[in-house]
Amino acid sequence: MAALVAALLVLLLARTGVAAPRRSTAGAPVGPVIERPTGALRSCDPLAPVCVHATSAVPVEALATARVAFSIAWSLVVDTLRVPRPLPDGARGGDPRLDVYLVARGTKVPRMLDGLAVGRDPLDLLADRDAASAFLVVDEEAVRAGSCALAAIAARGVVRASTMGLDVAESEVVVDGFARRIAEVVAPCPELERPAFAELQARPWRAITASPAGPHLVARTLDVQRGSGFGAIVPGVLSMAGNHHGIVVPAEDDELGPAHFHDDPSVFDVLASSLSDAGSSLDAMFLDVAVARATAPVAPAWEWTVPVSTLPRRFAVRRGIEPTGMTFVRVELDVAPAGDAVEMDLAWEGGSRFAWRVLKLDAAGRVVSEVPVPPLETTRKITIEARHLSGVRTILLCGVNLGDPGRPWRPTEPPSPAHGYDLGIFAGS
């Protein structure tokens, strides 16, 4: 943990000045933005700088309930975890406080993610940072639910508003996922996150940024394995990714569509640099995430479950694994393999770079040990041998497509194609 934190601080101190725009750093689109809703009802908290707005269609008691929830969230997120305060918005919502708008059930709001949408106020395009004040739009259904959902949404919303004041360029999916880690710490709500994680596990071949559940798992894995376990690493990473660049004009990046902000550095750029300085790598982090998925209570979709008694076997993944997507294979030791060993021969397609990790599990599903697998930069095949299998019931093969070796992966850019691989499994060696 200390090494990673030190590396983050070094990177922060080194980021001075304004770099020239680069073609490969397109981030969040400049527009369109969510319009502020209208509402005659307004309730401001006496302690936290938060005001909740609503129309007459929203019950008054919902207004008060939401105000209390966001006041508590502000205290936990800003005052306790020291997440930076959201930027003041002048008098756009009546005064500079953070504005939360409750909308009635059935209201269509663009970019709503699990009951929360984040609006961005206009930017000062002459400033040296792509930062803006923000407002939050919350589905009234979250208030009516009477569960932990509102507290979790409030915590996530405060983090999202804070991040808008740090870097509007970062991918919304990435920011929302990291914000969910903060919410998970200060206002845990398993019933809110469980469906999203189950959907993530059902399609492991999709990119880790296909939904907020992926970056959420990345943030959780980082926090538990390399941080304090209480969310403090998340605001550090988000702050380090604060953007200091201008806007990409369509003429410069027309293959990416409308004007985009420059996401430089992105959250994953920050992680790559800081992990490298701490003696690790982004590849290792993605493999840590793969292991977390493989051993989670909600299992990922397995490519295959292969009994040792049926070996030798050969398989091929032709559907393809997207960059940062993952793949999982179970080998069940229903009989003792010849030579007390299992061999796995892997070969993957050109234009991709895969990393692998192999786990040995006992009959209770606990990890007994890992099989060392060297990092691979250019090689497109490897043979992995799992030996000394006494007490081992299952071998798990976990793989990650790290993308095109000639084109580093970035979450906001058009992805390189998905790629498959061939697998042979043999008893003995």
In this predicted structure, the answer to whether residue 248 has a pLDDT above a threshold of 60 is no
> How far apart are alpha carbons 181 and 228 in whole angstroms?
13
Tokens of 31: 């527009």
What number is the average pLDDT over the span 26-55? 84
Annotate 74-85 with DSSP letters as a single string: HIIIIIIS-PPP
CA 356 to chain centre: 20
Give the lowest-confidence range in 24-28, 58-62, 394-398: 24-28
CA 26 to chain centre: 18
Q: How many CB atoms lie within 10 A of CB 179?
A: 31
What number is the average pLDDT over the span 6-15? 36
In this predicted structure, the answer to whether residue 26 has a pLDDT above a threshold of 90 is no
Q: pLDDT by residue (tens digit) across 76-135?
A: 999 999 999 999 999 999 999 999 999 988 888 888 888 899 998 887 655 556 788 999
**Cα distances (Å, whole numbers) of residue 418 to 27, 43, 204, 207, 415:** 21, 50, 12, 9, 8
Confidence of residue 20 (pLDDT cuts 50, 70, 90): very low
User: How do the domains of the chain map onto residue ranges?
Assistant: 2-12+21-280, 304-427
Q: Can you give the pLDDT at residue 397?
A: 98
Give the lowest-confidence range in 160-164, 243-247, 273-277, 349-353: 243-247
Residues 332, 305 contacting (CB under 8 angstroms) = yes
Alpha-carbon dihedral sign for residues 235, 237, 238, 241: positive
Architecture, CATH, for domain 2-12+21-280: Orthogonal Bundle (1.10)
In this predicted structure, the answer to whether residue 10 has a pLDDT above a threshold of 50 is no
Burial of 57 (0-12, 13-18, 19+ CB in 10 A): middle
What number is the average pLDDT over the span 137-151? 85
Architecture, CATH, for domain 304-427: Sandwich (2.60)
> What predicted TM-score, i.e. pTM, was given to this entire model?
0.88
Phi (first) and psi of residue 361, to 5 degrees: -115, 145
Confidence of residue 15 (pLDDT cuts 50, 70, 90): very low
Q: pLDDT by residue (tens digit) across 341-400?
A: 999 999 999 989 999 999 999 999 999 999 989 988 888 999 999 999 999 999 999 999
Give the lowest-confidence range in 37-51, 114-128, 150-164: 114-128
Tokens of 72: 């508590």
In this predicted structure, the answer to whether residue 246 has a pLDDT above a threshold of 70 is no
| Strand 419-427 versus strand 367-371 pairing type | unpaired
Average pLDDT, the chain: 86
In this predicted structure, the answer to whether residue 284 has a pLDDT above a threshold of 90 is yes
Single-letter code of the amino acid located at 169? A
Share of the chain above pLDDT 70, in %: 84
